Amino acid sequence: MGSLVVQPRSRLFHGHEWVYATDVKIRSGDPEPGDVVTLKDVRGRPLGSAIFNPKSQIIARRFSFRRQDLDAEFFVRRIERAWKLRQRLGIDTTLCRVVWSESDGVPGLIVDRYGDHVVIQTLTLAMSLREDLIVEAIKQVFSPQTITARNEVAVRRAEGMDCEKKMLHGSQPAPFSLQTAGMTFQIDVWDGQKTGLYLDQIDNYSSVARWAKGKRVIDCFCNQGGFAQACAQAGAASVLGVDSSESALASAAVNSSSLNIDWKAANVFDYLKEAESKNETSDLIVLDPPSFTRTKGSVNDALRGYKEIHLRAMKMLPPGGILATFSCSHHISTGDFYTMIGDAAVDARRKLRLIDTYRQRADHPIILGMPETEYLRGYAFEIVGGW
Ligand code: SAH
């Protein structure tokens, strides 16, 4: 088995599980890309087992403090352990992220469950090479009807892999609907966004909807309209969902056929600009944009984009109005996000009071010491009237 000697003061010694190429002092044993390697400190003391890929800047990702192979038994054990955690969390496990990469000790493997159907992503070479073992383990634990791989994710390129989607078990399922917390969602494991749904937001719909009774609500970047549905059910006076994806809106309309919600296919930047110029107002605006940045380098551009939509949304909210806003990029820190919102508030001449905070659902667990695992931040602010 190959091994890497890790430089002192590497992030591995500070609670992180990644080894960057620059953290490696000595590489020995000639490991192949995708192999398991042993990590050691400069005194030769073992630091555990990691997956290795010299094509990536993150040359190794530790998955065990012991000497451990990635065999069939390993995957069954890790998946069962992750599944037991989800069952303890008190969330609806019918729609659920069962395995979330580093947070479940399987770096680069994502397993989402939509009832009898499972969707996986293999984002590291080591996981991709062991796809067969992973499929067998999932069959053993869940006996699903189908397993789909949705590997159309750019991060695979950093590992020297292509994007792809394919059936790994069963035949391609037709889109179907699932219910959770009284809401309905269309699950298209083949063509839906991400692996089918934004699972990380599910619990936040009802939290935001607490503010919705009697209010005029706009759900910006609504996708399948989770916030819109929950707000309509909570007794909103009117609800509008805006998204640029026609197919997401088509699903949203099916989900909410018994509710009174308007849907608009538009770029939210254009929509807000126009609404603001017409002096339109709203009582509750949800902003849940996609990640505007995938890299550290473009954080400033992303913050400019965030600020623009925040500024416009705030101008549409009278005193007492509520802004529920989310950022789903770990590159945007809490401090960056707050500062941006504060700057937008100053420009919009609004005073904001924080009334609630939100985060990714608990099936996307945060690992202390790995800031990348904490990526979804959300806040509800009330516009304070003159005092
Ligand atoms: N709120 C949604 C998730 C939003 S994800 C939920 O809870 O499920 C981001 C959404 O923004 C996607 O549906 C995508 O289609 C949409 N989108 C991306 N860029 C957009 C833009 N400029 N204007 C409008 N919608 C956009």
Q: Is the domain of 103 the same as that of 237?
A: no
Q: What is the CATH number of the domain that holds 256?
A: 3.40.50.150
Q: Is the domain of 298 the same as that of 225?
A: yes
What are the strands, taking DSSP E only, across 101-189?
Answer: 109-114, 117-122, 146-151, 164-169, 176-180, 183-187
HSE-up of residue 92 (Cα within 13 Å, Cβ side): 15
Count the residues in the chain: 387
Q: Is the domain of 109 the same as that of 237?
A: no
pLDDT, position 373: 95
Angle at 372 between CA 367 and CA 376, to 5 degrees: 90
Q: Is the domain of 124 the same as that of 215?
A: no
From 174, 207, 233, the end of a domain falls on 174
pLDDT, position 196: 81
Q: Is 241 contained in some domain?
A: yes
Would you call 222 a catalytic residue per the annotation? no
pLDDT, position 94: 95
DSSP 8-state code for residue 127:
H
From 174, 189, 218, the end of a domain falls on 174
* Ligand 1 center to 249 CA (angstroms): 10
Q: Is 191 contained in some domain?
A: no
pLDDT, position 387: 65
pLDDT, position 263: 98
Which stretches of 166-255 are DSSP H helices?
A: 202-209, 226-233, 246-255
Atom index in ligand 1 nearest the CA of residue 202 equals: 7
Write the residue with the smallest CA distance to atom 13 of ligand 1. 223
Q: Is the domain of 49 the same as that of 85?
A: no
pLDDT, averaged in runs of 10, over the chain (387 residues): 95 96 96 98 97 97 97 98 97 96 98 98 98 98 98 94 97 96 94 88 97 98 97 98 96 95 98 96 97 83 94 97 95 92 96 97 96 95 87
Count: domains in the chain: 3
Q: What is the CATH number of the domain that holds 15?
A: 2.30.130.10
Q: Is the domain of 221 the same as that of 348?
A: yes
Write the residue with the smallest CA distance to atom 3 of ligand 1. 223
Residues 362 and 89 sit within 8 Å (Cβ to Cβ): yes
- Residue range(s) defining the domain that contains residue 55: 3-64
Q: Is 320 contained in some domain?
A: yes
Q: What is the CATH number of the domain that holds 149?
A: 3.30.750.80
Query: What kind and span of H or E run contains 238?
Result: strand 238-243
Cα–Cα distance for residue pair 60/314, rounded to 1 Å: 44
Cα–Cα distance for residue pair 71/90, rounded to 1 Å: 31
Distances (CA, A) of 249 to 186, 189, 243: 11, 16, 7
Q: Is 324 helix (H, G, I), strand (E, B) or coil?
A: strand
Q: Is the domain of 155 the same as that of 269?
A: no
pLDDT, position 227: 98
From 174, 207, 240, the end of a domain falls on 174
* Residues with a CB atom less than 6 Å from ligand 1: 193, 198, 201, 221-224, 226, 243-245, 248, 267-269, 288-290
In this structure, what token pair is assigned to residue 2? 């190959």
pLDDT, position 194: 83
Nearest to 329 by CA among 320, 318, 337: 337
pLDDT, position 193: 81
Q: Is the domain of 87 the same as that of 229?
A: no
pLDDT, position 126: 98
Q: Is 221 contained in some domain?
A: yes
